[in-house]
Structure 1
């Protein structure tokens, strides 16, 4: 169990006040953050691996928290089965969270089991990010600090109460409707069942509102991730069996056709062995990898390498890790014991020397999310009964494997003072500070949109990648969503040509392009250029994530927790402070959009709308379905094809309504020097029909040049 008494900030130590209550030891960890502990907590928990210290100053700026119940009303019971936690719940509360949920949004009334799974389905809770953390629109969050398979009953269980008066038998008849009617409205508690545990830690994050809860959680986790600025551009993953020549040819296609792209991702064939992994360049496909990486860098491309953590007998890592791995193999490869610092360091040191120092900018960390536990035939991963040298078992390792994997890789870049933007297929709690976007092999567009919203309740980043599509309409709608997400990613791992040139897989791989390929390419270029224009705004939203804990992508209920129309609204979301996105799917030519209180502007038509109402919109396939809040200064840059270390963004400020100010975060975009104060706040002001720019901070250069101001009334 992590010791919480070492901290470099005296102010933070001040809040570590411990008292005893009837159901456990209560510790005040920070303003608005408490921990209840009872029994002997597990050694391997999500928080035990959180190396980032809470951002004390920012937490203090949030002020004291507030709970709608007394902390002593949280009940913990340790019995022969394990631990049961009961958290008060009133009849009007709405619940969200439980990590990166795919099949549900408002979790009230459901049974949730946040268990890691490579193919999440339905609404039970299987997920790529199994965080045992939920939040309430009443203004608090509960995190059960466990890596065991826990079950949450979200207000759907009723206990026997011997003092309760019996309900009188109804005389309403015996129709089918009467026989199956139930007036039992179970509430009172969220009940958490943690089998096998001998003790537990319960973290409580206080409001007073839903957004503040998430701010506290993210700041307590070390602050939100701030990716390298180039990571907010466009990422394109090439076909799995492309060689060095073919990747160079694809890079030339992007530059020759002026289609934005910052990152090229290499899929499995770059290695000599992939299932399990060798982590050795395949010289028959990439004969000069160092030259290749340098050439790509000179053309403005960052290279991202696909891999997973299961170590092949052909790998140089096999012997060093043989005694630091689990007692079961995966694809005949070792499972490194990432819970052991020594094993993690061996894995990291090899990657640092072999790849990162040679210029590899990031990794796609695949296959770290267990087999599909819904099917008995899905048996590729290690079993729950596995044992590891550190003492962690297979169940806990499954829940933590993706978290520990990304921590290991991210640590390489952090030590080198070099920022990155990673891909990963599993995560867990207290991962807010990791710049790693989750992705999935599932492909339902509606679910991909919902996960953008759910990421805001998880302290995680979600990437609704685009692969092939059934129709051009489907492809364009998916592209709109990708542009309006934390990572714009096209994954063409089984396509010879970009999907916008041919959506049919077989024809694509025969180089048979669509008759209208150039028109679709033009439409995609327009969408991707908008993404590049949005980078300064997005970068500031991620800076707010890091310094203030505000999720850059979040459900409307987080900003409007008292508005009942937002309680179940799972397909609209906020981007930063001022942009509302309402994506469409292939099934839609038009859609209804709910706009909360205030005044909003349609970005495409500039039409003004009164909030608190529903409207119907019909955006074209090459337009973005977004609305801008009145009072906004939206800084949009002249599109660039990629972001280089010396890129200067030429910005037009669009003033919506009676706007008076906005902020841009400015630094070098590639190092962690901002942690030492090397950044600027660029304040944009609109007063008396005049725009002004005021820059303050310690960064000696400038990335933003304000060229124009445009008023939209």
Structure 2
């Protein structure tokens, strides 16, 4: 929200009172209290406005500021579930100010004129206030009501990322962003997943700790500042230090929650019925059998909305006209085809649903202020919304889903959760404006906790569309309704990279687009991209997405890249475990992996899948692709071609290929099974070694996330030593682009089309050789 008109003037009707001088400081055991006034003179004054602030640290390297104009709000506010603790602060006073530190993150405060300057490990991060008389923290009166405002400096060349899954330009500079969940597809500025957290390429992040609407002006109102404002009389924000993007995300997710570890089966290929298409058991089985007949591995089948009767969403009951033997059908799909089963749900109950009357009578639906059930006709006729602040409604909703789990369902697509009304009354009295964004958290948490209870820890999986802070704890999330063209493919990737810089670890999208039907070339290009994402789903709106409808080459493309993903599972799932443990996403923007490489700051058409594989999707029918390689020696994983980095590359790829580049000094674990995603990763494992110039390592987990095998490689003047710890059966090493070795011990060698293949001796002996 903009409050000013140019440099000197406020907009009509806008008055601001800034924290110009800090008049009083009180140091407490785990916080510092500040009393600030809007004038610089050393005088006694009566009345206000004045601002009171408290500085604290909820986690190491995070500094929190809570600023109030008025403290007497009676609103019941939903609170993000933070793993916060009262931490002691290191406070040092100096003439005219004080320093407050948590770990390596430091806040230096000057009293008059008041300013906040943040540092990490002695390096300046950002500043609030007093640069050429600019405002510090302010209370602002407007015709729309009161607001609290903060402005933070941006340095020359500093770039802002995140704020959720956004499909606008990847770098947020120059944008106005409102944190308000809405259903708008992937081609507009509104977003399904709004997260009031941003990070910059200077190695820090900022969380505005409210579930309500936050308005950001990022180099838009003040061209060298990020401004954020919230309606009301208080603001709560946290500066997250770390020094680089990975550490910032690790610190942020330590506070807001690490991504749960999705089960290994969820990384396989998902196929759906599509949305408005006609389908019954015969149709579904023709899809499943068609994939098997074409030797395309399939791991999850999803039933979209019409598994229930029309206009009864949700009744959580299969449409008997289409599916007359549900337990038998699901058992056959699971036992004969080895599939996991997903079904579509949302938190809305149409009036025609047999559950509506029950939910209404028991008080399980949101109500209007006059006591009526809140209803409208958009989406489902006369639909109401489940009130998850009511513990009885929470349990009731879970009980309905539990019946489906008993039938054989394995996971749920938790669709919607964005169009949450504000003219309602919640069971627990929560403020409806503040519940609008928070509703999705309760909805997805309710379903995810049921799955964890029923399936076990690390076996729960959603396919969720909406999210807020903390939603990363309930994976997986997908990008929503995209169109079937290259532009939408590109905007989807932008949104995914943005989400993964907002604390989320895993992300998916509708391969070939949701709206409309893609041309064959788009389907094939998108399939390669989709199967090199963490999660891969073929899904559409009014047409099916089975590959043979897009030509025989599409069948070959889907088969090849599904086979590839299956063999990548030891590497990919180990990266997922790292995400679960650290908060660093599996799908990474280039700026996250290469923060010092200046061109990487803007790249949004390529990404790192884990730490050592670079993926550059092809967005053209002809196969032209431009991508950037950071410094070093890179090897195309598919064709073994070696390329020197530090520059842009232009290539042309057929539909069976794309730039999939392995970083130098990388040791990539490749499995022997190209049909399944759940298997013994340690059996017949091959470690691919790329351009070893000094050191490489791999920490490989099994399909349950447990330690399985650690490997280290070192090159000292041409003598290579490899050591192993853990378990592997028939372990092999593939030395990419190495034609022969000398003085080999601990293994036997044979020629391979990609280099030299070493068979490690039983007992995982140390392997040494000379290049």
Q: TM-score, normalised by structure 1?
A: 0.81
> Aligned-pair distance for 1:107?
0.8
Look up the SS of the partner of 1:132 in the other structure.
strand
> Aligned-pair distance for 1:288?
2.0
Structure 1 counterpart of 2:399: 349
For residues 70 and 592 of structure 1, do their structure 2 counterparts lie closer, same or farther at Cα, with a shift above 3 Å needed? closer
Matches within 5 A, 1:671-682: 679-682=706-709
Structure 2 counterpart of 1:193: 229
> Aligned-pair distance for 1:245?
2.9
> Aligned-pair distance for 1:194?
1.3
Is the 2:128–2:153 contact (alpha carbons within 8 Å) kept by the matching residues of 1? Answer: no
Structure 1 counterpart of 2:724: 693
Structure 2 counterpart of 1:37: 66
Structure 2 counterpart of 1:561: 595
Is the 2:186–2:481 contact (alpha carbons within 8 Å) kept by the matching residues of 1? Answer: no
Q: More deviation in 647-656 or 305-314? A: 647-656
Structure 2 counterpart of 1:100: 165
Q: Does 1:130 align with 2:130?
A: no
Structure 2 counterpart of 1:364: 413
Q: Does 1:78 align with 2:143?
A: no
> Aligned-pair distance for 1:393?
4.5
> Aligned-pair distance for 1:79?
4.3
Is the 1:542–1:552 contact (alpha carbons within 8 Å) kept by the matching residues of 2? Answer: yes
Q: Supply the distance in 2 between the matched residues of 1:344 and 1:705 (Cα, whole angstroms).
A: 50
Q: Does 1:267 align with 2:296?
A: no
Is the 1:598–1:611 contact (alpha carbons within 8 Å) kept by the matching residues of 2? Answer: yes
Q: Does 1:207 align with 2:232?
A: no
Q: Supply the distance in 1 between the matched residues of 2:251 and 2:74 (Cα, whole angstroms).
A: 24
Structure 1 counterpart of 2:489: 445
For each residue in 1:273-314, what CA deviation from the matched residue of structure 2 results, as whole angstroms up to 9, or x when unmatched? Answer: 455311112222222222222222212100000121101342
> Aligned-pair distance for 1:72?
7.3
Is the 2:507–2:587 contact (alpha carbons within 8 Å) kept by the matching residues of 1? Answer: no
Q: Supply the distance in 1 between the matched residues of 2:395 and 2:309 (Cα, whole angstroms).
A: 23
For residues 297 and 482 of structure 1, do their structure 2 counterparts lie closer, same or farther at Cα, with a shift above 3 Å needed? same
Q: Supply the distance in 1 between the matched residues of 2:599 and 2:675 (Cα, whole angstroms).
A: 40
Structure 1 counterpart of 2:12: none
Structure 1 counterpart of 2:278: 241
> Aligned-pair distance for 1:613?
0.9
For each residue in 1:661-692, what CA deviation from the matched residue of structure 2 results, as whole angstroms up to 9, or x when unmatched? Answer: 433443453xxxx6xxxx21421233554655
Structure 2 counterpart of 1:411: 449
Is the 2:418–2:440 contact (alpha carbons within 8 Å) kept by the matching residues of 1? Answer: yes
Q: Supply the distance in 1 between the matched residues of 2:621 and 2:690 (Cα, whole angstroms).
A: 31
Look up the SS of the partner of 1:502 in the other structure.
helix
Q: Supply the distance in 2 between the matched residues of 1:122 and 1:484 (Cα, whole angstroms).
A: 22
Matches within 5 A, 1:280-679: 280-298=317-335, 299-313=337-351, 314-316=353-355, 318-320=357-359, 322-327=362-367, 328-330=374-376, 331=380, 332-352=382-402, 354-370=403-419, 383-416=421-454, 417-418=456-457, 419-443=459-483, 444-460=488-504, 461-467=506-512, 469-492=517-540, 494-496=542-544, 498-503=545-550, 517-587=551-621, 589-644=623-678, 650-658=684-692, 660-667=695-702, 669=704, 679=706
Structure 2 counterpart of 1:6: none
> Aligned-pair distance for 1:140?
0.9
> Aligned-pair distance for 1:86?
2.2
Q: Does 1:279 align with 2:316?
A: yes
Structure 2 counterpart of 1:706: 731
Q: Supply the distance in 1 between the matched residues of 2:681 and 2:322 (Cα, whole angstroms).
A: 33
Is the 2:389–2:428 contact (alpha carbons within 8 Å) kept by the matching residues of 1? Answer: yes
> Aligned-pair distance for 1:24?
1.4
> Aligned-pair distance for 1:467?
4.0
Q: Supply the distance in 2 between the matched residues of 1:282 and 1:123 (Cα, whole angstroms).
A: 35
Look up the SS of the partner of 1:113 in the other structure.
strand
Q: Supply the distance in 1 between the matched residues of 2:650 and 2:431 (Cα, whole angstroms).
A: 52
For residues 253 and 44 of structure 1, do their structure 2 counterparts lie closer, same or farther at Cα, with a shift above 3 Å needed? farther
Higher Cα Rg, which structure: 2
Q: Supply the distance in 1 between the matched residues of 2:653 and 2:673 (Cα, whole angstroms).
A: 21
Q: Supply the distance in 2 between the matched residues of 1:156 and 1:500 (Cα, whole angstroms).
A: 45
Aligned partner of 1:145 among 209, 215, 224? 209
Is the 1:132–1:145 contact (alpha carbons within 8 Å) kept by the matching residues of 2? Answer: yes
Q: Supply the distance in 1 between the matched residues of 2:721 and 2:734 (Cα, whole angstroms).
A: 9
Number of residue pairs the alignment of both structures matches: 622
> Aligned-pair distance for 1:211?
2.0
Q: Does 1:252 align with 2:292?
A: no
Structure 1 counterpart of 2:55: 26
> Aligned-pair distance for 1:42?
8.9
Is the 1:402–1:424 contact (alpha carbons within 8 Å) kept by the matching residues of 2? Answer: no
For residues 414 and 359 of structure 1, do their structure 2 counterparts lie closer, same or farther at Cα, with a shift above 3 Å needed? same
Q: Supply the distance in 1 between the matched residues of 2:695 and 2:537 (Cα, whole angstroms).
A: 34
For residues 491 and 122 of structure 1, do their structure 2 counterparts lie closer, same or farther at Cα, with a shift above 3 Å needed? closer
Q: Supply the distance in 2 between the matched residues of 1:72 and 1:19 (Cα, whole angstroms).
A: 17
More strand by share: 2
Structure 1: runs of 5+ lacking an equivalent = 1-14, 57-61, 159-185, 371-381, 504-516, 696-701
Is the 1:449–1:481 contact (alpha carbons within 8 Å) kept by the matching residues of 2? Answer: no
For residues 649 and 431 of structure 1, do their structure 2 counterparts lie closer, same or farther at Cα, with a shift above 3 Å needed? farther
Q: What is the RMSD of the two structures over their aligned residues, measured on CA atoms?
A: 2.9
Q: Supply the distance in 1 between the matched residues of 2:679 and 2:451 (Cα, whole angstroms).
A: 17
Q: More deviation in 482-491 or 199-208? A: 199-208
> Aligned-pair distance for 1:230?
0.4
Is the 1:452–1:485 contact (alpha carbons within 8 Å) kept by the matching residues of 2? Answer: no
For each residue in 1:369-417, what CA deviation from the matched residue of structure 2 results, as whole angstroms up to 9, or x when unmatched? Answer: 22xxxxxxxxxxx543233222235443332233322111111122231
For each residue in 1:501-528, what CA deviation from the matched residue of structure 2 results, as whole angstroms up to 9, or x when unmatched? Answer: 123xxxxxxxxxxxxx334312321111
Q: Supply the distance in 2 between the matched residues of 1:96 and 1:653 (Cα, whole angstroms).
A: 35
For each residue in 1:451-485, what CA deviation from the matched residue of structure 2 results, as whole angstroms up to 9, or x when unmatched? Answer: 23212212233312114654322111111110121
Q: Does 1:231 align with 2:256?
A: no
Is the 1:255–1:641 contact (alpha carbons within 8 Å) kept by the matching residues of 2? Answer: no
Matches within 5 A, 1:53-68: 64-65=104-105, 66-67=119-120, 68=124
For each residue in 1:40-78, what CA deviation from the matched residue of structure 2 results, as whole angstroms up to 9, or x when unmatched? Answer: 5896767x2427679x9xxxxx97445434787694333
Structure 2: runs of 5+ lacking an equivalent = 1-27, 36-51, 88-101, 106-118, 130-134, 368-373, 739-771
> Aligned-pair distance for 1:626?
1.3
Q: More deviation in 149-158 or 703-712? A: 703-712
Is the 1:225–1:542 contact (alpha carbons within 8 Å) kept by the matching residues of 2? Answer: no
For residues 294 and 120 of structure 1, do their structure 2 counterparts lie closer, same or farther at Cα, with a shift above 3 Å needed? closer
Q: Supply the distance in 1 between the matched residues of 2:179 and 2:445 (Cα, whole angstroms).
A: 20
Is the 2:512–2:518 contact (alpha carbons within 8 Å) kept by the matching residues of 1? Answer: no
